[in-house]
Structure 1
């Protein structure tokens, strides 16, 4: 089995897991960020799940004056659409693909793997999942957006055309404005993806109601 390039934290909800959730953190955080969420999820009816929380590579981030931090790709400015680090996105896409490949090597098929992410992690979930050549169980995106969207129509893979997509956002998010997320939702819907959309009275964060909705969605896609 090939060892992925990224170090990860792993939590199993029960012995001998038959499903996996690969959860990608946001800019400047690390894999520890969403570990506490697992205890708050209602996973009744789900099989044993392996949760994988990888640590992104470290790199200088332009919008933060070149400060070196964990990031899936560089942020070149406050406009998240017109100036994007496409090379960085594609490099991290390969790192996420390594994590998917390891779960398959450990006996969990692609169809039982959920990609999830917050903010930059949401962008990486959509960047990777919509291009993945095998059907995944679901794509869960929180407080993020669809990156390099103009390339998606040519690059997406038919295998995940019908994969459930869950997108959630804070209505007062100052980091990734909700309008940016709505544009991503609308673009995906024009391409025929079925998107479950939620908004909450919060900023760039996670709330209790959202956690309940995530748990219910995981029950549906992994039951």
Structure 2
């Protein structure tokens, strides 16, 4: 798989970043899909947060008749079991972990790095965050599912990772049952997880954006 890069949004005014948020897009989109979210979060003016919005590679996707499109991994069927290509998913997660290490090497403390992902991107974020070797600042799982729940090797460094799970109550793409199952799984494993339901489909809604902004501010703004 070729790696197509990422969109980087640095703090305003040329301030050096002291925190970083990765946002992974969903199937068929790219990093620009969540670019408008960044100003909408209304983080405090003194926030020094870098946002990194990676682009997924282009892959054939079985559920779309083999069409080649931006995808973190192949989805083989859309049942509640949601069969996926785990090797591709893990490869994508390892790529994200490499980007996280780059930010740490640039001087950002690992506990001030948050991984967020929507739909397919959320499944990658689950894998990348919960198997990462250094403690992170949080995991934000949006309208997604924990695809590698039964196979992941959990990292002890992140056994106390704060996990925020959001899902739409009438999501026709990723049924809420899948999102709630991911939440229940991490809760059963002892993670401090919190679940929020919103009256929406497979999307992001204004109240949710406000809640995300507050959650990020609490975790990253001094």
TM, length-normalised to structure 1: 0.94
CA contact (8 A) 1:46 1:219 kept: no
What is the aligned partner in structure 2 of residue 178 from structure 1? Answer: 176
Query: Which has the higher mean CA deviation after the structures are superposed, 46-55 or 140-149?
Result: 46-55
* CA apart distance, 1:106: 1.6
For residues 11-160 of structure 1, the aligned pairs below 5 Å read 11-14=9-12, 15-44=15-44, 47-79=47-79, 81=81, 83-152=83-152, 155-160=153-158
Return the match for 1:200 from 182, 194, 198: 198
Alpha-carbon distance in 2 for matches of 1:22, 1:166: 14
Match of residue 220 from structure 1? 218
CA contact (8 A) 1:27 1:70 kept: yes
SS of the equivalent of 1:147 reads coil
- Are 1:129 and 1:160, in contact at CA under 8 Å, matched by a contact in 2? yes
Distance 1:78 1:175 in 2: 8
C-alpha root-mean-square deviation of aligned residues, in Å? 1.5
Looking at structure 1, the residues matched to 171 and 135 of structure 2 have their Cα atoms a distance apart, in angstroms, of 31
Unaligned runs of 5+ in 2: none
The structural deviation recorded for 1:151 is: 1.5
Give distance in 1, aligned partners of 2:185 and 2:5: 33
Aligned length: 218
* Aligned residue in 2 for 1:161: 159
Say whether the 8 Å CA contact 1:11–1:52 is kept in structure 2.
yes
Pairing partner for 1:7 from 5, 8, 11: 5
Structure 1 runs of 4+ aligned residues shifted over 3 Å read: none
Q: TM-score, normalised by structure 2?
A: 0.94
Q: CA deviation at 1:6?
A: 4.2
Deviations 1:181-217 (A, max 9, x none): 1111111111001111111110000000000000010
Q: Hey, what's the Cα distance between the residues in 1 that align with 2:182 and 2:45?
A: 31
Cα distance change on mapping 1:128 and 1:204 into 2, 3 Å: same
Cα pair 2:169 2:199 within 8 Å, conserved:
yes
Contact 2:162-2:192 at 8 Å conserved across structures: yes
